[in-house]
Structure formats: C-alpha cells, structure tokens
A = this chain, B = another copy of it.
Amino acid sequence: MSQRGILAVVSGFSGAGKGTLMKALLSGHADQYALSISATTRQPRNGEVHGREYFFITKEAFEQMIEEDALIEHACYVGNYYGTPKSYVMEQMEAGKDVILEIEIQGALKVKEKFPDTLLLFVTPPSAEELEKRLRGRGTETEEVIRDRLKRAVEEAEYMDRYDYILVNDDLDTCVQKMHELIQSQHQKTGENLDFICEMKQELKQL
C-alpha cells in the first residue's frame, strides 16, 4: 500500500486541547509522525527554542521564502509573519512519515486548496459549556482574554463544516486513538494507491 506520508492539518478552538493531543500522538508513535514546525518573524517568548516551537527568522528571510514559493501557507498577525516551510513537509512525506500541521483555519483552508489530498481535522470539546470551563479552568487568563477566545470560537465555528473530520476531545486517550486510526486509514484511500491499482491491472492481464 501507499508508502508516501499523509499530510494532516489539525485546527480547533483555543481550549480544545490540541497541544496535549499532538504531544500524546507524537510521543506514542514517534516513528510514524512528524510535526511540522512553523516559521515566524515574531520574537521568541521565554522558554521557546528555535527549531522546536518555531523557526525564528527575520522579516527579510521570510519575505524571500514567500518570493521563492518556499511556504505552503503564510499569514500576517499583529505585524508578524507566520508560515509553513514547504521543504520540511515534503521531505518527511517522501520519507513515509505522516506530517501533522497544527495551524489556524485560514491557513488550513489554503493548504487544502493547494494540496486537495490534505486531511483536515477539527478538534473540539464536546460542548460550548465545556470549552468555557476549560478556558476558565486554566486559571491563568484574564476575563478579557477568555471573552476574546470565546468570541473567536464563534467565528471559527463557522468554518467547522469545511473540515473533513470532526474530532471531539472528551477523553484524551480515546481522542488520540481516534486521531491515529483516522490518519492511518487514509493510507488505504484509493487516491493514495493508484500505483498499486495500476500494477494490479497489468499483472491480472498477464495471467
């Protein structure tokens, strides 16, 4: 069956638990997945490491990457560029790794437009009430930040049906397992097995 890796984009509400989910997925199946690392022109925050959280690059370097079509998608937020370097993603997929991109919705839709075989996954808590509970439960955010995230969730929810699959993150282990099975099942997609089908047709004719 298909040896090439799958490209899976994961988006979801702030508070849906994407970060924890990604960590659990990758630590459980380190040999199968590669997490794409974004490039950004913003300053590193405390504890952030170049090449781990982000590739921290200059505005000039970023704009050159745009010019050279070296980014799968990019966007500008609050005066800073964010984008997904193409070369890393392609290398990993060619090597048979399934590549996970954790990016926001506009970026996700751009990737799907450019690469229609991309698997778009949307992670959500089981209810809006639970989302609010999780955001407040962190205990680290001001009321303003929480209201802002909930407002953003309302906007983001409008795009949920543009995704291929909806993953409800109720229990972490169950959700990780479902995500893993979902991504792995994509290797059996007809479009991923055209070489196999072609060989089968030829071999059958020669019998």
Return 8 A-B CB contacts under 8 Å, by A number: A154-B201, A154-B204, A157-B197, A158-B201, A160-B197, A181-B181, A181-B184, A185-B185
Quickly give the copy total for this chain: 2
Q: Which residue of B lies closest to A163 (CB)?
A: B190
Contact between chains at B207 and A128 (CB < 8 Å) = yes
How far is A150 from B206 in the complex, measured between Cα atoms in Å?
10
Q: Does A30 contact B (CB under 8 A)?
A: no
Q: How far is the CA of A73 from the CA of B45 in the complex (A)?
A: 61
Interchain nearest-CB distance for A166 vs B (Å):
5
Q: Nearest-CB distance from A21 to chain B (Å)?
A: 14
Q: Could you give, for residues 25-59 of chain A, a 1 whenever the CB lies within 8 Å of some chain B CB and a 0 otherwise?
A: 00000000000000000000000000000000000
A95-133 contacts to B, CB under 8 A, are: 122, 124, 127-129, 131-132
Interface SS of A by simple majority:
helix
Partner of A185, one of B182, B190, B200, B206: B182
Instruction: Check if A185 sits within 8 Å of B189, measured CB to CB.
Output: no
A180 (CB) vs chain B CBs: closest residue: B181
Residues in A153-201 with C-beta less than 8 Å from chain B = 153-154, 157-158, 160-161, 163-168, 178, 181-182, 184-185, 188-190, 193-194, 196-197, 200-201
A-B residue pairs, 9 tightest by C-beta: A128-B203, A181-B181, A128-B204, A165-B188, A182-B185, A157-B201, A166-B193, A154-B204, A160-B197
- Within 8 Å by CB of A190, from B153, B161, B188, B207, lies B161
Which residues of A are at the interface with B, using a C-beta cutoff of 8 A? 1, 122, 124, 127-129, 131-132, 150, 153-154, 157-158, 160-161, 163-168, 178, 181-182, 184-185, 188-190, 193-194, 196-197, 200-201, 203-207
Q: Across the two chains, which residue of chain B brings its CB closest to A194?
A: B161
Complex: chain B residue closest to A132, CB-CB: B207
Residue of A129, A168, A181, A184 contacting most chain B CB atoms (<10 Å): A181
Contacts A164-B190, A182-B188 supplied; 20 other A-B pairs, CB < 8 Å: A124-B200, A127-B200, A129-B203, A131-B204, A132-B207, A158-B201, A160-B190, A160-B197, A160-B201, A163-B190, A165-B188, A165-B189, A165-B190, A166-B188, A166-B189, A166-B190, A166-B196, A168-B196, A181-B184, A182-B185
